[in-house]
Chains A and B, each alone.
Chain A
Amino acid sequence: AQSVAQPEDQVNVAEGNPLTVKCTYSVSGNPYLFWYVQYPNRGLQFLLKYITGDNLVKGSYGFEAEFNKSQTSFHLKKPSALVSDSALYFCAVRDTGGYQKVTFGTGTKLQVIP
């Protein structure tokens, strides 16, 4: 079975400071990892993904994530937070072992304080 953990329900960060939203995963094979963002009254939007290759993945809106196989983590990062980054962030995993089911975490609310 595959699973995702987002240990923080909410992360608060001051505008201009770096931000990190944590994610750890568990799969039986190799993972495909995704980050999605959900703004109020809007659908989930894809931010970035890790498939293979470079452990540091760059995505939309200046976000990046680092895949760490030994720690089974895929933390989302941004060097300088904007107030407009305030939203709900979901980490998701899919096992590369042939399964199409994507498992999402419970989400982390990011609040960027002006």
Chain B
Amino acid sequence: GAGVSQTPSNKVTEKGKYVELRCDPISGHTALYWYRQSLGQGPEFLIYFQGTGAADDSGLPNDRFFAVRPEGSVSTLKIQRTERGDSAVYLCASSPLGGAGDEAFFGQGTRLTVV
């Protein structure tokens, strides 16, 4: 597609439920990133994929968070046993090769609200 697509755009879930957030990167981009942005804050790094593998998952806050990219394109961020503190905008970005000097192309994000 023309840009990074994230679905859903908004998700409201009850505390304790499981959610999946989807990211469709720009076609051909090998690097994919997930960030979380809370109100009044900058994006916070969660995980980076190079192809199918998670090259750096040091930003995942705990084992309730997990992400996959099985075919090296679409990625899913999975959150188990959601908590109210998980409420934020989850951003996905991709870049052509994932080089350190490459800029990232961001989607519009999924706003997750845990009630």
Is B42 a contact partner of A107 (Cβ separation < 8 A)? Answer: yes
Pairs across A and B, CB under 8 Å, 28 listed: A32-B100, A42-B108, A43-B107, A43-B108, A44-B91, A44-B104, A44-B106, A46-B103, A46-B104, A49-B101, A49-B103, A90-B42, A92-B42, A94-B100, A98-B100, A99-B56, A99-B100, A100-B55, A100-B56, A100-B98, A101-B56, A101-B59, A102-B33, A104-B43, A105-B42, A106-B40, A106-B41, A107-B40
Q: For the complex, count residues of A whose C-beta is within 8 A of B.
A: 26
Question: Which residues on the A side are within 8 Å of B59 (C-beta)?
Answer: 101
Residue numbers of B with Cβ under 8 A of A are 3-4, 31, 33, 35, 40-45, 48, 50, 55-56, 58-59, 91, 93, 98, 100-101, 103-109
Q: Which residue of B48, B55, B101, B107 contacts A32 across the interface (Cβ within 8 Å)? A: B101
The CA of A108 and the CA of B50, in the complex, are separated in Å by: 31
B-chain residues with CB within 8 Å of residue A98 when the two chains form the complex: 100
